[in-house]
Chain A
Amino acid sequence: MELLIEKIFAKYNYWIFIIIMSIGFYAIIVKNNLIKKIIGLNIFQTAIFLFFISLGAVKGGTAPIVSEEMIAKGYVYVNPLPNVLILTAIVVAVATTAVALSLIIRMYEEYGTIEEDEIIEKSEEKEVKWK
């Protein structure tokens, strides 16, 4: 039992990432309001970003601007690559959010609501009329 608790706390960053990701996923599935869905999506994406960042982190590590003598003195530095990857991924996430929000605005203009079930109801009515 103690071993298990030790195991859990030794890798607490991964557990936090899993919990945040589940919260985001829950919001995407359950929430009816489209904006809340997008917030859920953002939480989901952020969890993955945190996972990447914690991969590169080193306890007591400095910024990765190092010279030979600093390494010889025993300095450790954080792996910069995951941070760079996540910068790109954040840009992608921002773009996705922007597209999603603009879609929501257009849907609000079209249907007068941002509740998903009402939109489905109204779009079905429209499709029936179309026939």
Chain B
Amino acid sequence: MSVVEHFPILTVAISLLSAFTIFVAGWINKKSCVFISIATLIAQFLMSMAILNHVMTKESIHYWLGGWKPPWGIEYVVDPLNAYILVILLFLALFCAIYSKRSIEHELPHKIASFYTIYQLLIAGLCGVTVTGDIFNMYVFIEITCLSSYALIASRGKIALKASFTYLVLGSIGACFFLLGIGFLYSVTGSLNMHDLSLLLPPLYGNKAVMAAFVFFIVGLSIKMALFPLHTWLPDAHAFAPSEISAMLSGIIIEVSTYAFIRIAFAVFTVNFIKLLPIFDILCWIAATAIIIGSILAITQLNLKRMLAYSSVAHMGYIVLAMGLSISATSYPWGGLTPALMHILNHALMKGCLFLVAGMFIYKADLWYVTYFRGLGRKMPYTCAAFVIAAISMIGVPPSVGFVSKLYIILASLEAKKFVFVAIMLLSSLLNLIYFWRVIEMMYMKREEGAGNSHASYSYKDEIPLSMLVPIWILSSLCIIMGILWLTKIPIPILNKVNAMFGLVVI
């Protein structure tokens, strides 16, 4: 057994360990918390890269907890899909942690130790959801993730409390539905291991309990991933959380729920089961509605973070639409899950960057509303430039990441002969342009009003903290670099392995 095979459990374990270390270290020295957190995340990120390398060059990792054989014990399985998600999640978490050093000192000076403790618990939960191969274990880790995110959202107090409470009630209902789905599957198969379930289920595909279980999984996880009619918790929670948590919520937490859905739909139930029911066609239409309504609601918002939150609703629609098309579009390179997984990475980069920039405006001048952004392009040139790069990626200007994922989704819907979705993708690009252009116009085109205006004369800090600017610039430059990499098809083999694993695309 090579060392790499221990890494899946280690990513979860050292995160938990550092959570408690931070809590103790916080009593002695508050400044040490952030460094312990960053050091842990760097170690985890390096581990996840090693895992990805191992999975791509050799074979999937199967780790038996406590040495118990799979159908009885808990098993951690890492295949290309997990490894890919794990790298994305730890990458963004690392940059959010670096960014949070200054902003947490500014926003929550009395809660530094508890913030990083809960932040590490959140990472542990997310890693756990990603690496586990046991369906009940996944439920527990989803709950760890959500419980820590409720606490983190509420940390700013005031309106955030209400937002967090709404998320808590809806999130718990979602988790309960997930648990109920597990119960139904357990009652017909008597197993909880995902691989074991996928072997036991095929003879039972006609069973009503299995179908009900699938529907419960869909509804439960749709709440967690804020799919359109169930998105009501998202805008407030994203808008009033601390900015780095907004970036994590939007870039990672709802994406990991999508991962959980992909894992359950394709690895527990298989493509053969999905083809029995018209459920993915319905999901496509729900996603299309999400794209249009999310974009329209984003246009109506003046609060920048709330606007970005509604835009997240629309972009979750993109991911679900791409996933819904995955069984009907099957030719290389846009077939299968490729566009959906591609957009998970792309959305993490773009939204991560945008939310961090929005946090920068709040950090520097307490600017929440787009109407006060006059002349900001001159005052904070580097930040605004990063915002513009991420915004044009969202709109889909080539060669940015947004362009590539939109191109792939459009090609997939052309292959599936669902031309309506092509029109919806183009329309949504237009709507994206409307709401981002308004912000960019405010920043660069409108001159400041006279010096007598109270909003124009806010205190102006000269230096932009480097520890905040570097993560923003790395994310925004990756928006372009990854776009070029996707176009040259260098990272596509990872996604192809995923498609081959689920029997979606045959090259």
Contacts and interface: CB of A to CB of B under 8 A. Distances in A.
A48 B154 contact: no
B84 to A, nearest CB: 28
Contacts of A92: 140, 143, 147, 175
B150 A99 contact: yes
B162 A107 contact: yes
B169 A41 contact: yes
Nearest to A52: B183
B143 A28 contact: no
Interface stretch (A1-9, A61-69, A70-78, A120-128): A120-128
A83 interface: no
Contacts, number: 74
The bracket for how many chain B residues form the interface is 20 to 34
Given A34-B165, A88-B140, A119-B162, A103 B173 contact: no
Nearest to A44: B176
Interface in B161-203: 161-162, 164-165, 168-169, 172-173, 175-176, 179-180, 183, 186-187, 192
B183 A48 contact: yes
B500 interface: no
A99 B176 contact: no
B300 to A, nearest CB: 15
The bracket for how many chain A residues form the interface is 20 to 34
Nearest to A104: B165
Contacts of B173: 25, 28, 41, 44
Nearest to A108: B161
- Interface majority SS (helix, strand, loop, mixed), chain B: helix
Contacts of B175: 92
A107 B161 contact: yes
Contacts of B426: none
Given A48-B176, A92-B140, A131-B369, A103 B150 contact: yes
B73 interface: no
A126 B160 CA distance: 12
Given A96-B168, A100-B165, A126 B176 contact: no
Given A44-B176, A48-B180, A131-B369, A99 B162 contact: no
B208 interface: no
A50 B150 CA distance: 26
B147 A55 contact: no
Contacts of A104: 165
Given A51-B183, A95-B147, A96-B147, A37 B161 contact: no
B204 interface: no
B314 interface: no
B368 interface: yes
A26 B150 CA distance: 23
A123 B143 contact: no
Interface string A27-50: 010000010010001001100100
A89 interface: yes
A71 to B, nearest CB: 18
- Interface majority SS (helix, strand, loop, mixed), chain A: helix
Contact of A103 (B165, B187, B368): B165
Given A48-B176, A55-B186, A127 B165 contact: no
Contact of A126 (B147, B159, B192): B159
Contacts of A81: 186, 192
A89 B140 CA distance: 8
A95 B159 CA distance: 22
B172 A89 contact: no
Contacts of B150: 99, 103
Interface in B127-159: 136, 139-140, 143, 147, 150-151, 154, 157-159
Interface string A111-122: 000000001100
A100 B168 contact: yes
B130 to A, nearest CB: 19
Nearest to B140: A88
B159 A103 contact: no
B176 A55 contact: no
Given A85-B136, A92-B143, A99-B168, A106 B186 contact: no
Nearest to A49: B179
A85 B179 CA distance: 10
A122 B162 CA distance: 11
A120 B159 CA distance: 9
Contacts of A44: 173, 176
Contact of B172 (A34, A96, A119): A96
A126 to B, nearest CB: 7
Nearest to A89: B179
Given A37-B169, A96-B143, A99-B147, A45 B176 contact: yes
Top 4 A-B residue pairs of the complex, sorted by shortest distance between their CB atoms: A92-B143, A107-B161, A103-B165, A123-B159
14 contacts: A34-B165, A37-B169, A44-B173, A48-B176, A48-B183, A51-B180, A81-B186, A81-B192, A82-B183, A99-B147, A99-B151, A107-B165, A120-B162, A123-B159
Interface of B: 136, 139-140, 143, 147, 150-151, 154, 157-159, 161-162, 164-165, 168-169, 172-173, 175-176, 179-180, 183, 186-187, 192, 368-369
